[in-house]
Structure 1
Amino acid sequence: MATMKDIARLAGVSTSTVSHVINKSRFVSDEIAERVNRAAKELNYAPSALARSLKVNRTQTIGMLVTTSTNPFFGEVVKGVERSCYQKGYNLILCNTEGDSERMKASIDTLLQKRVDGLLLMCSTLEGEQIDVFERYPDIPVVVMDWGPMSFASDKIQDNSYQGGYLAARYLIDCGHHEIGCITGPLMKHQAQIRYEGFKRALNEAGLAFHRDWIVESDFESEGGYQAFNKIFASGSLPSAIFACNDMMAMGIINAAHEKGIRIPEDLSLIGYDDIHIAKFMTPSLTTIHQPKYRLGQAAVETLLKRINKEITEPQVVQLEPTLVVRKSVRRVGN
């Protein structure tokens, strides 16, 4: 691999002159600059990103940790992160935690040793974990995405899940439904809990009763939705509508209902949450709460870069608002 010394030798100039031409750090005459650039091209010279990063104390690299899931939601958020990094001239190193706290801590340690400029964390399955590694790197910028309360300082990007849960239940009520069930995510997780709290607020405002057999805690996965619906079915009666607290569980519900000859929305209305890309291609197409996934990733990168560039000093919380997407899985009843 050619070095600046090789270019200097071929061009008949000093190494410092080559450096000034390559880095554009000082004026060099057009004639000398042309000789240097011609020599660099002849030697197939490529600047060392490592050397430059050591000089400016930046690697133009961001590390991101995400928990593996079958839910396309995560992939759609990562797409927003990756596109934003590319547009801003940054590289992205993606690490999968597999929902394991030790693997998460090891991945963070590895990324910091590789001198990433900042970190994005999207590992809500590890909510509440004490991450001691940040005590050894107190100055590393960190942005947390879609997570609950944290034991370390960071900026945070989140969906207004309380409002989203409220919107879902309110739409079912406005469509004339009075017997409404809910399949929640793991209620020990902050986002799952507040999504359910929004749902409860809408029912309380409407003066509707809660049927405990129609409220089932699940895991945000399709299999969990499938099993949760079977549990409601086994209780002996069905609500007229169900709020599935994410689209993956809604897929499981559609499958379980179809096996039992229960038609959606004729026999059971269903609303999901997230608006993953495939939601509109389900049968029937899924009415759901749209979570701005691409914007979530974009906002995380923008906030992290502001932190890296010291444009912000106080912890930031950026909250993105959900919206209702009406499709074919909810029917209107009564008048």
Structure 2
Amino acid sequence: MADPQAPPEPSSEPDDAVLPQRGLTLRMLGDRLGLSTATISLALRDSPLVAEATRDRVRAFAEEIGYVANRSAASLRTARTNMVGVVVHDVVNPYFAEIFRALEAALNAQSLAIMICNHADDVGRQRTFVETLMQHRADGLIMCPAAGTSESEVLRIVRTGLPFVMICRDVGDIGVPVVRGDDFAGGLALTRHLIAMGHRRIAFVGGRRLTSAGHERHAGYVEAHREAGLAVDPALDIAEAMTQRDGRDAAPALLALGPRPTAIFAFNDLVAFGLMSALRRARIEPGRDMAVAGYDDTDGAAWTTPSLTSVHNVPEEIGQRAAALLKDQIAGIAGRPERILIEPILRVRESTRPA
């Protein structure tokens, strides 16, 4: 019969096998390594205050037993979560994928992870996401505001003190950092190009005019007509189209006009791709029979047949500069809010031949 006062038999299992794989704490790691929780914490953050050999030993042991830092607990101590929200209206649009790629690279270099939300131009959905970010003590927000976002809605975010940068769209002039392409300049340059190619009936398809991007690209289109002494035919203006399906749906109305347009300025490349598909189905060859131009110069625009004339809207630079502005706010070194307009680049290809 075993002696109840005798010490327990040593386990035949290795020590690590009896450690729980969930709920591990700094104290548990400290107990196993004979170190204080403060030393463990500093070592896991790669602090130079801890000897390199100790840091290596702590990190190796933490990795071996599956320790993951409790960011929620850490955020209560440091008021940081290393999480940033990014909210746009259409995550399917490849243009935003290119912005995400640039943002992620820049933010990851600062040990910041991103959470992405697609608000689908629904202000209520946008507000819910922002409130969720605040509840989870996110470090910052990068937002392409939904159509119809009011100045008061933006100021509501600003007053919380959450570091905040807007991209791609403006909402008034209310002292919020903004990084976006110059949509008026891009719309003007593209329309001037179509007019220089001899086109006089130029349709404008797409864009939500409640947004700065939709309004300003269209304004550039109108200004180029005014410069050339040309009237804008309201029948050639189809608002709100944003997707390939919208482009396909817009084509029959344009083809039913007499006379038809000889060129189409699509609000973005997705709308242009949809239009080109619908024109082909109607036995009208884009580029040869009717010029088609897009906007954003997304991946693939140069490889369509015909290759698509488009306005390169600098997604990499927008992402990098927005991340830099947000980083400065998080670090508490931001100065006066900047409004950065980046000049887009017109890339002329086969889809806009002379009339």
Shorter-chain TM-score bucket reads: 0.7 to 0.9
* Distance of aligned partners of 1:112 and 1:261 in 2 relative to their CA distance in 1, 3 Å threshold: same
* 2:243 corresponds to 1:221: yes
Contact 2:91/2:97, CA 8 A, preserved across alignment = no
Which residue identity does 2:135 align to in structure 1?
Q
Partner of 1:83: 105
Contact 1:141/1:154, CA 8 A, preserved across alignment = no
Between Structure 1 and Structure 2, whose CA radius of gyration is higher? 2
Which residue identity does 1:276 align to in structure 2?
T
Q: For 2:68 and 2:208, locate their aligned partners in 1 and report how far apart those are by CA, in whole Å.
A: 51
Q: For 1:277 and 1:173, locate their aligned partners in 2 and report how far apart those are by CA, in whole Å.
A: 26
* Distance of aligned partners of 1:21 and 1:206 in 2 relative to their CA distance in 1, 3 Å threshold: closer
Deviations 1:76-106 (A, max 9, x none): 2222222222222211111222332222211
Deviation at 1:143, TM superposition (A): 0.6
* 2:272 corresponds to 1:250: yes
Which residue identity does 1:188 align to in structure 2?
L
Q: For 1:206 and 1:133, locate their aligned partners in 2 and report how far apart those are by CA, in whole Å.
A: 40
Partner of 1:320: 342
Deviation at 1:289, TM superposition (A): 0.8
Partner of 2:19: none
Q: CA RMSD in A?
A: 2.9
Secondary structure of 1:123's match? coil
Deviations 1:8-49 (A, max 9, x none): 434445545555555576856789778867876776555443
Contact 2:151/2:171, CA 8 A, preserved across alignment = no
Which residue identity does 1:111 align to in structure 2?
L
TM-score (norm 2): 0.82
Q: For 2:288 and 2:43, locate their aligned partners in 1 and report how far apart those are by CA, in whole Å.
A: 72
Larger mean Cα displacement after TM superposition, 117-126 or 130-139: 130-139
Secondary structure of 2:351's match? coil
Structure 1 stretches lacking a partner, 5+ long: none
Deviations 1:185-205 (A, max 9, x none): 122322111111111111211
Q: For 1:32 and 1:148, locate their aligned partners in 2 and report how far apart those are by CA, in whole Å.
A: 50
Count how many residue pairs are aligned between Structure 1 and Structure 2. 333
Deviations 1:125-179 (A, max 9, x none): 3433743893695211111111232486521111100000011011112223233
TM-score (norm 1): 0.87
Which residue identity does 1:229 align to in structure 2?
A
Secondary structure of 2:332's match? coil
Partner of 2:121: 99
Deviation at 1:230, TM superposition (A): 1.6
Partner of 1:261: 283
Structure 2 stretches lacking a partner, 5+ long: 1-22
Which residue identity does 2:342 align to in structure 1?
L
* Distance of aligned partners of 1:113 and 1:259 in 2 relative to their CA distance in 1, 3 Å threshold: same
